[in-house]
Amino acid sequence: MSETVPARASETENYCWMLHEIAKGLGTAKNLPAALNLIAKSAVDTLNVKAASIRLLSLDGRMLDLAAAYGLSDEYLKKGRVDVDRSVLDKEAMAGDPVVVEEAEKDGRLQYPDEAKREGIKSLICVPLKVRDKVIGSLRAYTSIFHKFKNSEVVFLTALANLGAIAIENSKLNESLRLRVENMRVLLEISKSITSSLNRQEVFDKIVRFAVSNLKAKGCLLRLIDVKGDKLEIVSSIGLSEQYTAKRVIPISEEIQSVLKGEVVAIVDAATDEQISRKEDIKREGLKSILAAPITVKERVIGILKIYTQELKFFDPDEIEFMTILASLGGIAMENARLYKLALANWQNLVKDVWGKLEVWGPPGEAAT
């Protein structure tokens, strides 16, 4: 901290001063991990407790993953993820209010009581991290002696948790803005390709490449419906094995039917989702989640753009929007190529028709009559 607390400050003034200094420190933190580590350390230093940790809820709300810790051993930190359904303590905290455990050894609400005992944890408090009344994680403080947390300590930790929640929200907003800017750059580049090139294959290859790069996926496939309308054929792919893509043409029935009806579909666990027909191929390739978008021309689905990840993933609205626009650009590329071929054919037919009617054009050396 840049300044010291006045010597005669009351406990409340001390906590207010510390929160002021912590807020200033968060403003200069280089990244989110640094900010959360500062909060954990500040909890320990201010309350003179053994340790502190911050855990964030997974996207499905089932797990609490470690985001920062101070004062805890590596052995304790490696004990495993916190399952909200198996940890009564955390389940109560996720309801939105601080939860105090005065005697950890006797309290049955801990998921890992034996590990807590070996770590020398006697008492602890779990405070929820909230963003606009939505709980996104928790801040815990641990003591090495039995301790009854005072109301002022609970209020301080709650305020500290709120600072952590703000830091997390700001980080998410900044990352979302950065990704949006990058996505717009990519979409602009592909749009330029469409207007400057009539080579649809070149555009398709760019689309699958940028889909993998920007969405941090393992691979991507772009399939088009054949002329008869009963099969789908791979026209571009990246990041997938030859074995997986060996089946170049598949029946329409093997594809995700909702996408063929014009919907964007996000599948978290492809190995168990009933919409997926090639589950064994999916497992063998090591694929987990899928995001699929329809390629349309004049509201008619002509193909599918699909990305695959190697880990279970919940796709956020920005990612879904980016994928939707990419697929739309694929449709524009198809329509541009079709219109060009149509215009070229019409022009050739027109030239033949005109030449056939001009009698002045005869064999070389023959005078016009």
For the segment 114-127, what is each residue's pLDDT rounded down to a tens digit? 999 999 999 999 99
Cα three-residue angle 219-222-228, rounded to 5 degrees: 150
Do 151 and 103 belong together in one domain? yes
Residues 259 and 158 in one domain: no
Structurally, how many domains does the chain consist of?
Answer: 2
Element (H, E) at 368: none
Structure tokens at 217: 């996926």
Q: What is the CATH number of the domain that holds 226?
A: 3.30.450.40
The two beta strands, 265-267 and 63-70, are unpaired
Task: Kindly give, in sequence order, each residue whose CB lies less than 8 Å from that of residue 57, ignoring residues fewer than 6 positions away.
Answer: 63, 64, 65, 84, 94, 135, 136, 137
Is residue 148 located within the same domain as residue 229?
A: no
Domain membership of residue 255 (yes or no) is yes
Asked whether residue 369 is assigned to any structural domain, the reply reads: no
Of residues 203 and 293, the one with the higher pLDDT is 293
Which of 141, 173, 205 marks a domain boundary?
A: 173
- What gap in Å lies between CA 185 and CA 205, rounded to an integer? 17
pLDDT(1) > 50:
no
Domain that holds residue 325: 197-346
- Are 158 and 207 contained in the same domain? no
Assigned domain for 179 exists: no
Q: Which residue has the tokens 């997986």?
A: 244
Please report whether residue 237 resides in a domain: yes
Q: Is the pLDDT of residue 188 over 80?
A: no
Q: 157 with 201, same domain?
A: no
Q: Are 222 and 330 in contact (CB under 8 A)?
A: yes
Q: Find the angle CA(319)-CA(216)-CA(286) to the nearest 5 degrees.
A: 115
Please tell me the predicted confidence (pLDDT) of residue 173: 75
List 57's β-bridge partners, or say none. Answer: 64
Would you say residue 309 has pLDDT above 90? yes
Question: 364 in a domain, yes or no?
Answer: no
Task: Decide: pTM greater than 0.85.
Answer: no
Judgement on whether residues 144 and 208 belong to the same structural domain of the protein: no
- pLDDT of residue 361 exceeding 90: no
Q: Give the pLDDT confidence of 316-343 residue by residue, as tens digits.
A: 888 898 899 888 888 777 766 555 555 5
Residue pLDDT, tens place only, 80-119: 888 888 889 889 999 989 999 999 988 889 999 999 999 9
The whole-number pLDDT of residue 169 equals 81
Which tens digit of pLDDT belongs to each residue from 123-162? 999 999 988 888 999 999 999 999 999 999 999 999 999 8
- Residue pair 193/202 in contact by the 8 Å Cβ criterion: yes
Provide the b/e sequence for 194-217 (b: ≥16 CB within 10 Å).
beeeeebeebbbbbbbbbbebbeb
Nearby residues of 332 by Cβ (< 8 Å), 6 or more positions away: 194
Nearest to 137, CA basis, from 67, 33, 85: 67
Residues 234 and 341 in one domain: yes
Same domain flag for 222 and 165 = no
**Does residue 354 fall inside a structural domain?**
no
- 220 neighbors 323 (Cβ within 8 angstroms): no
> What mean pLDDT is predicted for residues 237-254?
91
Q: In the predicted model, is pLDDT for residue 2 greater than 50?
A: no
296-302 average pLDDT score: 86
97 and 201 fall within a common domain: no
Is the pLDDT assigned to residue 303 strictly greater than 50?
A: yes
Residues 159 and 215 in one domain: no
DSSP states along 199-220: -HHHHHHHHHHHHHHHHT-SEE
DSSP 115: H
Identify whether residues 202 and 154 lie together within a single domain: no
203 plus 260 within the same structural domain: yes
pLDDT of residue 369: 46
Within a domain: residue 353?
no
